Amino acid sequence: MSQEQLFKKLDESYEEMVSIRRELHRYPELSFEESETPKKIAAYHRNLGLEVTEKVGGRGVVAKLQGGKPGKTVALRADFDALPIDEETNLPFKSEVEGVMHACGHDAHTATLLVLAKALVDIKEEIPGTIVFIHQHAEEIPPGGAIDMIKDGCLDGVDAIFGTHIWADFPIGTIRYRKGPVMAATDRFELDVIGKGGHGGLPHTTVDAIVTASQLVTNLQSIVSRKVDPLKPAVVTIGSFHAGKAFNAVSGKAEITGTVRTLDQDVREMVEHELEQVIKNTCHAVGADYRFVYERGYPTLNNHDKETDIVIKAASHVVDKENINEMEQIMGGEDFARYLERVPGAFFFTGARNDKYNATYPHHHPKFNIDESAMLIAAKTMGSAALNFLNE
């Protein structure tokens, strides 16, 4: 009965959900620079009569709803940071902040969780246990906001956690899930190749950093093709290459940055080790030196079996069963992985692509948009999953 009541409350509040999303979209804030957004989130929850804690882990917000009956504790999470992108849509609510845009749907995640909290408050006397609403800052930039929010106690007493990503790659009306590894560990590296500069007409008196670094760009690809088990996904991507200024000079320094994506911890450790081995051997072979910095980012996002089954069951009450499907693994990363290292839970994907609304562009694109009805699907599925867990 509580699920039926929840869905009815959410249907009645859909326009409010849209309004909140559009207001947040107009005033986006970058990772680790969020100031007004968390204030708005905290004020909304306080108006619902919830216990609210601000500045959790720096800029996060946590609100708690105590149900009318004793029971377990479940957490629901949404992120609220934006990206450094100039928006190129013609939406009437497009970003008013130059160079900043909600191009990944975090505005929709926040609106979804806020209105879901409101609907759950209306039926709180029937809820057995506690629901924790985690609003996370800085999901887009490692080390991310989750790690400090966890240190600050956002998961204290939590028995399970659920979250969703509204996903423009999947059509509206669909839910995607996967047990076990779903999203990759996301590491980054910086490499300076240090040679000896000189005259472009006298290359024999130099150690050419550009030639050496160019060899490295090719050599590093052999790690995935020749060192990693082909049945275990891995990616080594060079993202930037900067060297030299003059056309007639041999550059003494080249700067490279890149990312490593893996789903298996052993592969992650092996790739990190092999990167430096290839760099060292390539540089030393020509008499160059190097500076190498490897930074581990988010861990692999691993969904737990039992909680994923709860999501599947919840989704079956929201969309047609044929639209609930197991998804392929994604080599993108997600800060939600840190929560799943601490407590059982599941992270699922809510389809939001719709040609009718020109919602066809990928995430992080300047023309990114969603079919906003995906928020209602996400709210119903996440809310139903929380109630199913508490009612077990």
Report, as residue numbers or ranges, the catalytic residues.
81, 139
Concatenating the DSSP letter of every residue in 160-207 gives EEEEEEEEEEEETT-EEE-SEEEE-EEEEEEEEEE-B-EETT-GGGSB
Strands 289-298 and 69-79: unpaired
Do 85 and 351 contact (CB within 8 A), yes or no? no
Taking the C-alpha atoms of residue 174 and residue 203, their distance in angstroms, rounded to an integer, is 59
Taking the C-alpha atoms of residue 369 and residue 93, their distance in angstroms, rounded to an integer, is 11
Quick one: tokens of 316? 């079956």
Do 44 and 149 contact (CB within 8 A), yes or no? no
3-state helix, strand, coil in the chain (%, to 5): 35, 30, 35
Report the 3 state secondary structure along 225-285. HHCCCCCCCEEEEEEEEEECCCCCEECCEEEEEEEEEECCHHHHHHHHHHHHHHHHHHHHH
Based on C-alpha coordinates, what's the Rg of the chain?
24
Query: φ, ψ for residue 4 (rounded to 5)?
Result: -60, -40
Amino acid identity for residue 43 in this structure = A
CA-CA distances (angstroms) from residue 192 to 86, 124, 257? 30, 57, 9
